[in-house]
Structures are given as C-alpha cells and as structure tokens.
Amino acid sequence: MNQPSNSIANTDRRDFLKISLGLALSSTGSISMMSLASAEASGTLNAYVNINADGSVTIYGPNPEVGQGVNTSLPMIVAEELDAKWEDVQCEAAPVQQQYGMQFAGGSLSIPMRWDEMRKMGATAREMLCRAAASQWNVPRDELTTADSMVRHGPSGKSGHYKDLVAAASLISVPDEADVRLKAPADYRLLGKRISNASAEGIATGKPIFGIDAKVDAMVYASFVKCPSIGGVAKSANLEAVRALPGVIDAFILDGTPGPYNFDIRESHAIQSGVAIVGKDTWSTFKAREALKVDWDLSAASQDDSDSIEAEALAALATGRVEAEIERAGDVEAAFANAAMTADSTYSTDFVSHAQLEPQGVLVSAATSAVEVWTSSQTPVFITSNLAKLLDVTPGNITVHQLRGGGGFGRRLSNEYIFEAALISRRVGAPVKLQWKREDDMAFDYFRAPTYYQLQGAVTDDGQLVGWKNLVAAASTDGENANYGASYRPYDFPGKVIPNVVVEQSFVKSQTPTGAWRAPISNVYAFAEQSFIAELAHKAGQDHRAFLLNAIGDKGWIKEGDMASLNTARARATIEAVTKAAGWGRKLPEGHGLGLAFFLSHSGHIAEVAEVSVDGKDITVHDVWVAADVGQVVNLSGLENQLQGSVVDGLSTMAAQRISIKNGAVVQSNYDSYPLLRMPQSPRVHVDVLNSGYRPTGAGEPALPPLAPAVCNAVFDACGERIKALPISKEGFKIV
C-alpha cells in the first residue's frame, strides 16, 4: 500500500490550499489553533494527516529525505499516535511551506526536533476522530478506543473506520492541547519495530522519485563550467563555436559572485563564475564542454596547496604557536608538572569530499516571475528567501518541491547549484535541468576541512587521566576565524570531565571552501581523541577499556536532561555492551587485534569495537560491533541501517579518501582517484541498540566518529603500529 513518496505527479496534483488549512505548529513545538469550524468537510485533519476515501492515510513528512529515513520515521511517529494502520499509510513529502517549520535535514535533528510536534499531530487528529464518533454514536468519548484506523465503542460493539468519520471530524474545532493525550511508550504498537523504508518499492522498481528524475514540459538541459582554481572568473570563451555544436541551444558566461565561498547556508546566494552550456539533452551539454575554451581571470582565485597547508599546520603545532584559546578548566600546568606519566601525539586528517552518489542537479523554472524548483536539497527552508533576492521576485511566487536525494551527508545543505540553475533558466527563458558532472561535484564541494590536533595527556600514578591539552591548527580564510569544520568545539568530554583541560588554536591560511560533512568536527576529532586515549592507556600499562571507563568516570549527566550532553551512565552502558558483544579480552587468532572507541555526538552515545588482522600494510576489518543509545527507538530497521552504514562510510573514508589541492584546484576528479569502499572490503557489522527510553535523538551521524579510532586502535593491537594520519593510505596502509 505504501506508495513511492516523492512522486512529482502527485505533488503537482495535490490541493495545496486544502492542506494549508488545519492546525500548524510553530517551530517551538506548541500548537497554534486554527479552527476548522468554517472549513468544508474534508479528509484533512491537519497539515500532516489526510484520511483518504479508500481508507488509506496520507502522512506528510516535513523534512528532506536523503537516505536517513525520515520520510518513514517521522510519519511513523504520527501514525503511532493516530493509531493508523501502517499498511494503509502513504508517506508523502510535504510541500515546502512556512507552516511546516524548519524543513531541513542536518545535525541529525529531524527526529528530536519533530518528536513532540509529530506526536501531537497524530494524537490531535485521533482525538478529533474520536469526538466525531462520540457525537455520531451518542456515546461518551472516554469509552472509545482506537486501533488500525478504526474507532471502537466496546460497550455497544459499534465501530467505524476513520474514512467514514473524517468528514465530520474535519468540522470539529481543534481540541485544546491539554485535552490531547499522548501515549505512554509501553503502549506503542509501531515505534521500536522494524519497518521497511516507505519508498522501498519505488526504489526497487526504478520509480522516478529522485531529484535527478525531475522533468517538466519544454525544459532544456544545462551544464555549468567553473574555473578549476576556485574563485577564478570567466573573462571570455569561444561561445560562438560552442553554440554551433550539435544539440547546443546556447552558451554564455555567468559573472558569479566574488569569493571566498563561505558555508553560509541561510543567507548566501553566491555562485562562482563560469560558462553555462544549454542543450537539448544532458549529453549534448557534456560533450560540448570538450570543445569549450575559457580564458580565466585568476587574480582572485584560490592559490591553495594542500601540502603547504599541512606543512604549515604541523609546523605551527611543533612550535606551539597559539593564537586563540578555545577552552580552559583547572590548573593544567600543575597537573602536567605533578603527573606520573605524560604523553603527546599529533593527529591529522586531510580534505575530504562528500561524494554522495547522486551528483548535484536540479530543475528550476525561472523564466517568469512564478518560479518553481524541484530539488533534493537538504535545506529547502532556505531556498525561497535566497532565490527571491537573487531573482528579485516575491517569495510568495516561488514554489519548492522536495524530491528524494541520492545521499546527503551535508553536501546538499548548500544550494549554490540551485542559484546557478535559476540564473540560467532566467537567461534562456525556459525551465532548466542543471546537471553537475561527477567531476564538478568533486571539484566544487564544500569539503570536510583538514584538521590537525596536538594532544597531550597527564596521568597520575594510580592511572587517572587528570590533565589534557589540545592545540589545534585550523584552516582559516581570514586568519582569525576557523573555517567550517576545521577546528574544535568544547565537548563535555574531556572539557567537563577531566579536571584540568586547555584547548588552544592557531590558524593556517586556506581559501578552499569547507562545510558540514557527516558529524562535523566529531568525525575527525574522535579519531584523534580516542586514538590518543588508547595510547595513554598503553603507556600507563592499563587495559584500554578499563582506562577509558575510568577516564569517563561516573558523574552522570553533565547537564541534567540535556540530550546533547554527556551522560556517563549512558556512555558506560554502550562501552560495556559493545565490549561484551565483541568478546573483549578473549584470545584472538594470530595477527588479529581488537580496538575500542566511544564518542558522543549529535546526542548519540555510541561505542564501537573493530576486529582486524594486519598483513604488512594490508588491513582486513573482519567485524565491527556497535552499541548505540539514541533514546527511544522510532524505526528499528532504519536505525540499524544508519548504524551499519556509518561503519561502512567511516571505513570507506579513512581508507583512502583524500582531496588534494594544487594551485587552488582539486586534483581528484572521480571515483577512480577518490575510491569508495566496495563490498569485498566491507566488514560484518553487528549492532546492538540500547533502548534507554530517553527522548529519541538522530542517528544519521553519531555512529561515524568512533569507527576510525576503533579500527586504528585494533591495528595497534594487532601489529603495534599507531596510525596518526587519515586517510591511512598516506602511511601506505590499505583496507583489503
């Protein structure tokens, strides 16, 4: 019964006006009352729930679906409180409208941000159906129960399907929030179960549900060629020759906006300069690029060289160059002076690309003042305001359709390709399907920033970690502020747990744009921190697990009830569960090693253990165990999928993914020079979900950070080599 969720045709046909009636929630999560008393009878109970005449229930998922499963999990939350029969639920992408609040996918926030709202929407709709039944059957409301899209009255044996009650229910005024009861978790029928992705059948049968599949009549195709050295400006090009090529409709220069290109997803509508080639199909525009010759003005272009950035960063750390303090607690110098043992180590990671499998692309119709966008953006909520400025149209004249994205990982948070397509469409006077080549996607990313951490630890003679220093060398465009993802943010551990802590930083010039990449900062810092703690344990002659548990301690919540905060009991539980599952301390086969890591990011307490074997520089990762506490489980299958996928993604990235920059331009161009992990290299992944019952939090990101340190700790256990730079290919290691 579940339909592919994002079909363009369906979205086009939908009566937008109708669903914009009903109750809307402000972004704070409180319900604003919009009485339906004067509305006509309809199947619509609120902005998220529509009961259809055939008995099916349409539930709108407000946030973009890029593979994290929210267009299944968010509707599940509504369906649970609504008591809708899941087999009859159709999950649809909501239109992009103010009433749906913060429509974006980032920070693993969809579930925690929408948890209260989705429950209230389902429960309120259910209450309205019950009230309709009570008045129709002339029975007390409190004697009614619901299940499987039916209202039942036990004493009289009466029952009615939602489809037969919805018309009356839609005329009832919205109940007071206080009168709407939410279920106790013990009564959940759906949440916590394994539910297949709502679009599973559409995906398996090739339905055109992705951003790249968007089509409208009379659309033309476009490719946009930018200067390889980021920020270079197109002065002139052989446009006449290109226009004469078969299949080419037009070719022209877009001036672009001067750099640097900061990761400003809310306000920016900047695009880089380049040459647009418009054609009658995708291939004509790709092929024409081969004949295109552009004279680039490089005076403002980036001159970055990733080797120099690295050399300068490492020199800054080696000489202890400090330009700013990030965090300080206790008396660090005394802790180090009095320590029984100290150690220091420098860790680094390179630029990384997102490499999501669907390259950026979008369909924009901006020929007239009525603008329409079909996109798999992670930030649809920020498209309208920026397009309005860019095109000088009123926001009310812009319609944005959300389509499924072929992977996000933070890549689709920035919307520059939409602005490119909008300008091209405006110029050619037709709807334009802009398709970036894979090579464009790799060259013009907002990359994961390179990072450099020099860590020092002080341990007492009874093995307690009491002092911690971290000197960060951060890439910076202006020399005063770290570029996105290049630095450090104060984490509860070590900052609020180890008594004496200082984190300082210096800056290294870099103009290469960086942005959010799955679990920003955590994804690199966890590698440094959790590897270094294993180093300290080793040097102190202690079992790593015992040392780590001891370091985390037992303070409980660092900030009571704040899900983003460290709860040492949750941390300990995941470490204990994962080491038990992996058989920590067991005798391993010859050449094998076990490695452990724990990290808290995006409110997810996650511990992982890897089992590897090492043959020379060839590393085989046999098994990875994950224990995860992300609170109340919504969709167990979706959650497990994210945990499993994060392990593979983490391994894929640490293995050999590396973006190098020469003369401001990216060296790698496609998956041959920027390899992703393949099936034969991927480990068995065993996941253990600890349903702690806390408020649910997101799972798209937090399982990635512990993977690299777990694997590197296992490599050390297996062969005594300590990996301190990612990707590991830099030191000649390979995942086989």
Residues in Cβ contact with 147 at an 8 Å cutoff, skipping those fewer than 6 apart? 83, 189
- Residue 45's nearest CA partner among 535, 498, 34 is 34
340 near ligand FES, rule: CB under 6 A = no
Residues in Cβ contact with 671 at an 8 Å cutoff, skipping those fewer than 6 apart? 355, 438
Contacting range for another protein; rule: CB under 8 A; set: 47-55, 365-373, 465-473, 638-646: 638-646
Q: Which is nearer to ligand FES, 450 or 683 (CB)?
A: 683
Q: Which is nearer to another protein, 64 or 664 (CB)?
A: 64
End-to-end CA distance of the chain: 42
Minimum separation from the CB atom of position 356 to ligand FES (A):
8
200 near ligand FES, rule: CB under 6 A = no
Tokens standing for residue 161: 């399907």
Q: Which of 357, 370, 546, 736 binds ligand FES (CB under 6 A)?
A: 357
Max Cα–Cα distance, the chain, nearest Å: 83
**22 within 8 A of 45, measured Cβ to Cβ:** yes
Cis peptide before 589 (omega within 30 of 0): no
682 near ligand FES, rule: CB under 6 A = no
213 near another protein, rule: CB under 8 A = yes
3-state DSSP helix/strand/coil percent for the chain, to nearest 5? 35, 25, 40
Minimum separation from the CB atom of position 21 to ligand FES (A):
36
Work out the angle between the directed axes of helices 383-391 and 416-428 (0-180°, nearest 10).
40
- Give how many residues touch ligand FES by CB under 6 A: 3
- Residue 322's nearest CA partner among 436, 471, 469 is 471
Tokens standing for residue 229: 């050295």
Residue 283 binds which of another protein, ligand FES, none (CB < 5-8 A, kind-dependent)? another protein
Minimum separation from the CB atom of position 645 to ligand FES (A):
8
Q: Which is nearer to ligand FES, 53 or 357 (CB)?
A: 357
SS (H, E, C) 239-287: HHHHHCCCCEEEEEEECCCCCCCCCCCCCCCCCCCEEEEEECCHHHHHH
Residue 246 binds which of ligand FES, another protein, none (CB < 5-8 A, kind-dependent)? another protein
Residue 722 binds which of ligand FES, another protein, none (CB < 5-8 A, kind-dependent)? none
Give the Å distances, CA to CA, from 295 to 235, 250, 273, 277, 498.
6, 18, 12, 16, 56
Nearest residue to the partner ligand FES, using Cβ: 357
Q: Which is nearer to another protein, 7 or 149 (CB)?
A: 7
Give the Å distances, CA to CA, from 657 to 584, 589, 668, 676, 701.
30, 30, 10, 7, 18
Minimum separation from the CB atom of position 244 to another protein (A):
15
Minimum separation from the CB atom of position 375 to ligand FES (A):
18
16 near another protein, rule: CB under 8 A = no
Q: Which is nearer to another protein, 664 or 683 (CB)?
A: 683
Give the Å distances, CA to CA, from 348 to 101, 317, 529, 576.
39, 11, 11, 29
407 near ligand FES, rule: CB under 6 A = yes
246 near another protein, rule: CB under 8 A = yes
684 near another protein, rule: CB under 8 A = yes
Neighbours of 158 (CB within 10 A): 15
What residues between 55 and 114 interact with ligand FES by CB under 6 A?
Answer: 67
Minimum separation from the CB atom of position 49 to another protein (A):
24
Q: Which of 283, 320, 344, 562 binds another protein (CB under 8 A)?
A: 283
Q: Which is nearer to another protein, 359 or 494 (CB)?
A: 359
Residue 637 binds which of another protein, ligand FES, none (CB < 5-8 A, kind-dependent)? another protein
Q: Which of 42, 652, 713, 729 binds another protein (CB under 8 A)?
A: 652
- Whole-number Å distance between alpha carbons of 600 and 579: 17
The site for another protein (CB under 8 A) is made up of 66-69, 194-197, 199-201, 203-208, 210, 212-213, 221, 246-247, 281-284, 286-287, 355-359, 404-409, 435, 437-438, 637-638, 641-642, 644-649, 652, 670-672, 676-680, 682, 684-685
The site for ligand FES (CB under 6 A) is made up of 67, 357, 407
